[in-house]
């Protein structure tokens, strides 16, 4: 993929429309996690210091094309200004005279935030007229919201085709990390896919077995693969109706030369709760009332050895019910080991997905991984090998 380079662009005095992800968690009108604001700061500061007039475009929640006061972006203005250490103007609309007046009043290097894009149905419908109305307020377009890149919306795809378009610094960092993990990785490449259900990750599994050297499957979805091999998984979460699908994936992996790493021992309990009485069991000893809630120590040992033998790791999904102690042991062990290898420069470790980020935070290792994506759906679709409209539209 080839993109325009924002760092060599002529920016002084130009109106830069910057798509950011400010769909932040809020309670009672206050932001409870400013991670997404912080991630946008490098691009905003770069543009501002270059003398551009920085016009921020974002959505919040799902107003479905209607002006919904409780879904206004206005509560973002003060926290963003505090992080920037500079004033941030606000426009009550993202198109039309209100937006134009605020942008016109910006000095070189000034920053403004426009109201929720999704107050207009044209945003999600990618309507040509809405794209034109947005484009009228800018001289160039910068997409810094990888997390919205899997949607062909006016502010992700439409604008990129209408104005000179650039990936922002955060977007470029994400794309570089993903390319290093799966596009052009150092080999051998190990993948970890966990979570509860195979049915939600069929496209992901089918894509990965064709590209990886090894793939470890954990969480509830591993139970479906075990059952597909005739192993009794007791009362564990399991999609028994997907047994044939699991066998097809195993066959595809074998054909592609991808080694599948499935649990060889498990941690079981009869109750689904923290601190429940539990046992480490071999796969031939699972009783009818047993629930598999984590991978066992031998499974963990084999996974850590696979990490040691790999140059690249890509991870999506926990290995057990990490929210409930002591069933977080395998996930924490894997996360700690991966982070230590990454910090020592021995592996490129890229992870993403909501549960994965939560698990890495639980283990306290997010900062030591090579890259952790918070993009959610976009990260998953990229791992599935799908084209992301918001990224494809930036290519030159």
Work out whether the CA dihedral 263, 268, 273, 275 comes out positive or negative. Answer: negative
* CA–CA separation, 125 and 84 (whole Å): 32
* CA–CA separation, 378 and 151 (whole Å): 8
Give every CB contact of residue 287 below 8 A, 6+ residues apart in sequence: 234, 268
Strands 371-373, 348-352: pairing kind: parallel
Annotated catalytic, 36? yes
Let me know whether 244 and 157 are in one domain.
Answer: no
Let me know whether 191 and 117 are in one domain.
Answer: no
CB distance 47 to 18 below 8 Å? yes
Give the CATH number, domain containing residue 147.
3.40.50.1260
* CA–CA separation, 72 and 149 (whole Å): 22
The residue range of the domain holding 229 is 185-383
* CA–CA separation, 178 and 43 (whole Å): 19
Which CA distances in Å does 99 have to 113, 162, 203, 278? 9, 19, 41, 60
Which pLDDT value is given to residue 376?
83
pLDDT class of 1 with cuts at 50, 70, 90: confident
Q: Is residue 394 part of a domain?
A: no
* CA–CA separation, 379 and 116 (whole Å): 23
Mean pLDDT of 183-203: 94
Mean pLDDT of 240-258: 97
Q: Which residue, 108, 137, 171, sits at the end of a domain?
A: 171
Let me know whether 147 and 289 are in one domain.
Answer: no
* CA–CA separation, 141 and 260 (whole Å): 43
Asked if pLDDT for residue 9 goes beyond 80, the answer is yes
Let me know whether 233 and 275 are in one domain.
Answer: yes
Asked if pLDDT for residue 327 goes beyond 80, the answer is yes
pLDDT digits (tens, 9 = 90+) for 22-69: 999 999 889 998 989 999 999 999 999 999 999 999 999 999 999 999
Let me know whether 229 and 338 are in one domain.
Answer: yes
Residue whose entry in the numeric block shows the structure tokens 């994936």: 249
Q: How many domains in the chain?
A: 2
Mean pLDDT of 204-222: 96
pLDDT digits (tens, 9 = 90+) for 330-380: 999 999 999 999 999 999 999 998 789 999 999 999 999 999 998 888 999
Which pLDDT value is given to residue 354?
76
For residue 290, report the phi and psi dihedrals to the nearest 5 degrees.
Answer: -75, 140
Which pLDDT value is given to residue 268?
98
Let me know whether 165 and 95 are in one domain.
Answer: yes
Peptide bond into 28 cis (omega under 30): no
Annotated catalytic, 377? yes
Let me know whether 252 and 379 are in one domain.
Answer: yes
End-to-end CA distance of the chain: 8
Q: Which residue, 171, 205, 230, sits at the end of a domain?
A: 171
Q: At what angle do helices 219-228 and 243-256 cross, to 10 degrees?
A: 90
Q: Is residue 177 part of a domain?
A: no
Q: Is residue 165 part of a domain?
A: yes
pLDDT digits (tens, 9 = 90+) for 69-116: 999 999 999 999 999 999 999 999 999 999 999 999 999 999 999 999
Q: Is residue 350 part of a domain?
A: yes
Q: Is residue 70 part of a domain?
A: yes
Q: What would the two tokens of residue 368 be?
A: 């030591």
Residue whose entry in the numeric block shows the structure tokens 């470790």: 349
Q: What would the two tokens of residue 323 be?
A: 């929210």
| Active-site choice (15, 36, 201, 291) | 36
Residue 66 DSSP symbol = S
Q: Which residue, 171, 198, 217, sits at the end of a domain?
A: 171
Let me know whether 155 and 196 are in one domain.
Answer: no
User: 247: part of which helix (H) or strand (E)?
Assistant: helix 243-256
Let me know whether 152 and 192 are in one domain.
Answer: no
Q: Is residue 390 part of a domain?
A: no
Asked if pLDDT for residue 12 goes beyond 80, the answer is yes
Q: Is residue 178 part of a domain?
A: no
Let me know whether 328 and 371 are in one domain.
Answer: yes
Which pLDDT value is given to residue 323?
95
Annotated catalytic, 243? no
Helix (H, G, I), strand (E, B) or coil at 259: strand
Burial class, 26, CB count within 10 angstroms (exposed 0-12 / middle 13-18 / buried 19+):
middle
Q: Is residue 176 part of a domain?
A: no
| Active-site choice (51, 243, 377, 385) | 377
pLDDT digits (tens, 9 = 90+) for 117-150: 999 999 999 999 999 999 999 999 999 999 999 9
pLDDT digits (tens, 9 = 90+) for 272-308: 999 999 999 999 999 999 999 999 999 999 999 999 9
CA-nearest of 121, 112, 62 to 92 is: 112
Let me know whether 325 and 236 are in one domain.
Answer: yes
Let me know whether 130 and 54 are in one domain.
Answer: yes
| Active-site choice (354, 376, 385, 386) | 354
Which pTM was predicted?
Answer: 0.90
Which pLDDT value is given to residue 366?
95
């Amino acid at each position: 993929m080839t993109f325009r380079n924002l760092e060599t662009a002529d920016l002084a005095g130009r109106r830069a429309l910057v798509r950011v992800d400010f769909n932040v968690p809020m309670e009672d009108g206050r932001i409870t996690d400013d991670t997404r604001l912080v991630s946008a700061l490098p691009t905003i500061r770069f543009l501002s210091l270059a003398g551009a007039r920085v016009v921020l475009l974002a959505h919040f929640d799902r107003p479905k094309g209607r002006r919904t006061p409780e879904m206004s972006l206005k509560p973002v203005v003060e926290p963003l200004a505090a992080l920037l250490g500079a004033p941030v103007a606000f426009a009550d609309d993202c198109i039309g005279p209100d937006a134009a007046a605020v942008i016109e009043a910006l000095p070189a290097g000034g920053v403004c935030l426009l109201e929720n894009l999704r107050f207009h149905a044209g945003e999600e419908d990618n309507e040509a007229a809405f794209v034109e109305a947005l484009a009228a307020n800018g001289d160039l377009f910068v997409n810094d919201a990888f997390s919205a890149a899997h949607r062909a919306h006016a502010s992700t795809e439409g604008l990129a085709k209408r104005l000179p378009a650039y990936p922002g610094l955060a977007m470029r960092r994400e794309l570089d990390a993903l390319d290093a993990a799966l596009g052009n990785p150092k080999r051998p490449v190990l993948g970890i896919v966990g979570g509860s259900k195979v049915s939600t990750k069929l496209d992901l599994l089918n894509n990965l077995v064709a590209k990886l050297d090894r793939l470890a499957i954990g969480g509830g979805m591993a139970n479906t693969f075990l059952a597909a091999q005739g192993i009794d998984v007791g009362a564990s979460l399991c999609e028994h109706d997907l047994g044939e699908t699991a066998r097809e994936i195993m066959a595809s992996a074998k054909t592609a030369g991808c080694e599948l790493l499935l649990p060889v021992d498990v941690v079981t309990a009869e109750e689904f709760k923290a601190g429940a009485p539990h046992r480490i069991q071999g796969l031939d000893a699972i009783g009818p009332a047993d629930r598999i809630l984590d991978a066992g120590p031998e499974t963990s040992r084999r996974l850590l050895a696979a990490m040691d033998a790999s140059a690249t790791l890509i991870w999506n999904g926990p290995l057990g019910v990490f929210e409930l102690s002591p069933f977080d042991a395998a996930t924490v062990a894997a996360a700690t080991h991966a982070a230590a290898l990454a910090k020592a420069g021995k592996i490129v470790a890229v992870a993403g997905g909501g549960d994965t980020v939560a698990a890495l935070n639980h283990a306290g290792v997010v900062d030591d991984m090579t890259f952790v994506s918070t993009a959610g759906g976009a990260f998953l679709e990229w791992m599935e090998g799908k084209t992301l409209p918001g990224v494809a539209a930036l290519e030159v």
